[in-house]
Structure 1
Amino acid sequence: MKRVTVLNSFVLLLLGVFLSVSAYAQDAKPKASPPATTTGKVGDATVTVNYSSPSVKGREVWGGLVPYGKVWRAGANEATTVTVDKPVLVEGKQLPAGTYSFYAIPGEEEWTVIFNKTAKQWGTQYDEKQDALRVQVKPVKSATMNERLKYDVTDKGLVLQWENLEVPVAITARK
């Protein structure tokens, strides 16, 4: 009788370990739009972009998944944020140091990029009254296909790259 109880306890222990490992393995799946960060210098200002990086997955992105003429969160999940540690000029317009949510209104020939004062928010909670700055930029065809959305910070500003498009945003340090 004692052997049966020990055997039952052992089987229950193994079952518990199996269920725990299975539950952990499910949590370990890669996220559909994993978080990413890029940082760089523009003059003496540090620019950091925090975003979630969706994939193309065979979809039509521009004019499809991301419609033209509508505000887009410029990433996935939480709002993309741009932090500048010093005042800068964005496309020649002043932007104070701080952290901003980053939105865009894509167009076929021209985009409006938006720096919004409410940084910590879900990406779809955009409030135009909180805009700190809006500027117009021109998208260009990318030299390569980018399956995942990514941002780069260069000495000339930041660049959004996804699918077959790049959207450069000129940033210069204020003097």
Structure 2
Amino acid sequence: MSSPEYASEDGTVSLDEVIRGFINTNEYLHEYRLQKLVYLAELLSLRDRDWIRLTTADFKPYMYGAYSDELSERLDELKHEFSTKADTHHGKVVTAYTSPDSDPNLDDDILKLIEEANQMVRNGRFSNEELAEWSKSTLLYEYFPFGEKMDFSKYGENKERLSKDLSKLEQ
């Protein structure tokens, strides 16, 4: 199978397309939850794609769980593509996004990862706060100091832990 134009030589996918993919498959998704969903999809990608990351976005341990500055910046750059509404989260007014103007340019295997991540947390099974707490319980969050870039290859040294971390959402 040839690589789609959005994929790099190392198999990672455009963060913009992953953002579009998640917003396209969720009604009114705000950044807080999107951050955790992309992080979850990164772990699913390691498991399902022979230890290949989904994107090249850096994540770090942060007050509300796994967080990517790059994801936040890209979402801000892409916001004109989405319908929005005001919402509240942690007592603050935040923007919730929906309906990108175009479908994401993603291969079926990547769309499957996005849908799996959505299904694992959908239907009220996990609140935003529970999803954040889950991200804080993962190996990378526990191993790397607050605010320091997470190295996803750490899971390669501890493959059982990846399964354990993902299974916490499957219960």
TM-score (norm 1): 0.27
| Larger Cα-atom Rg | 1
Structure having the larger proportion of residues in helix = 2
Structure scoring higher RCO (CA < 8 A, sep ≥ 6) equals 2
